[in-house]
């Protein structure tokens, strides 16, 4: 079941007490798809943890071409558990997403969020990790257009919309296409978190 969420126009929607994990490799993540959702979620009251593959700075890119900001991760994703979080966010960036989708630790972590009925969100090329984690079949979703065939071949229904929310299959999946969609993407995550029950244990 998919839906078109309504987007908060500001940060009045509070998700205080919610815990969100962001997964990234250490190079090639699209700058705005990492920094802007983190900022929006924190502004709305969530506690956000950025987990990278290694305990080293995350070097971002802008449009896969020029260097972006460097982000210091809070931990590595090999050291965290889905039990401690209410949602997981997977940013894009072609290089980042291509490396992330082959990482078995990232795959296991994403599957754990889904099997526990938690929110899974991915943007741009980030849905590549959804394919490798077996989370696409039967889902309606979107992505950067160039990987739409990959998602359809994995059993998903691809839509050309700025954000798609699918609540079927036991977990909520939120996807968006590109950096220009970061605002509605972030708003959809905030709305989904606001509708959940008690926060995950710390």
- Indicate which residue of 89, 124, 173, 174 is catalytic: 124
Question: How far are the Cα atoms of 39, 103, 156, 165 from residue 186, in angstroms, in the given order?
Answer: 9, 25, 22, 12
Residue 199 has pLDDT above 70, yes or no: no
Split at pLDDT 50, 70, 90, the class of 2 is: low
Per the annotation, the verdict on 143 as an active-site residue is: no
Catalytic annotation, pick one of 125, 139, 177, 178 = 125
Q: What is the pLDDT of residue 196?
A: 85
Distance CA 193, CA 21 (A): 13
Domains of the chain by residue range: 2-195
- Tell me the backbone φ, ψ of residue 32, rounded to 5 degrees: -70, -25
Q: Which residues contact 73 (CB under 8 A, 6 or more apart)?
A: 24, 26, 50, 51, 52, 55, 56, 57, 58
CB 59 within 8 A of CB 95: no
* 124: annotated active-site residue: yes
Residue closest to 98 by CA, chosen among 66, 73, 61, 137 = 61
- The Cα 47–Cα 21 span in angstroms is 9
Topology (CATH) of 2-195: Rossmann fold (3.40.50)
Instruction: Tell me the pTM.
Output: 0.92
Q: What is the pLDDT of residues 141-190, one digit of tens each?
A: 999 999 999 999 999 999 999 999 999 999 999 999 999 999 999 999 99
pLDDT tens, residue by residue, 11-47: 446 899 999 999 999 999 999 999 999 999 999 999 9
| pLDDT, tens digit, 9 for 90 and up, residues 54-97 | 999 999 999 989 999 999 999 999 999 999 999 999 999 999 99
| Helix (H) or strand (E) segment spanning residue 37 | helix 31-43
Least Cα distance to 137 among 120, 126, 153, 160 occurs for: 153
């Amino acid at each position: 079941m998919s839906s078109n969420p309504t987007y908060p126009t500001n940060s009045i929607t509070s998700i205080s007490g919610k815990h969100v994990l962001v997964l990234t490799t250490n190079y090639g993540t699209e700058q705005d798809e990492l920094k802007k959702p983190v900022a929006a979620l924190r502004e709305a009251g969530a506690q956000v943890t950025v987990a990278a593959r290694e305990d080293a700075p995350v070097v971002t890119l802008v449009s896969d071409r020029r260097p972006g900001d460097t982000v210091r991760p809070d931990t590595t994703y090999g050291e965290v558990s889905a039990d401690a979080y209410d949602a997981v966010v997977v940013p894009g960036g072609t290089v980042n997403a291509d490396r992330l989708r082959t990482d078995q630790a990232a795959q296991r972590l994403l599957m754990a969020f889904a099997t526990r009925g938690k929110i899974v969100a991915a943007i741009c090329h980030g849905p590549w990790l959804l394919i490798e984690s077996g989370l696409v079949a039967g889902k309606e979703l979107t992505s950067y257009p160039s990987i739409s065939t990959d998602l359809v071949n994995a059993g998903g229904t691809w839509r050309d919309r700025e954000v798609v929310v699918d609540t079927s299959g036991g977990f909520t999946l939120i996807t968006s296409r590109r950096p220009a969609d970061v605002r509605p993407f972030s708003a959809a995550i905030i709305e989904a978190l606001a509708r959940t029950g008690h926060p995950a244990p710390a």
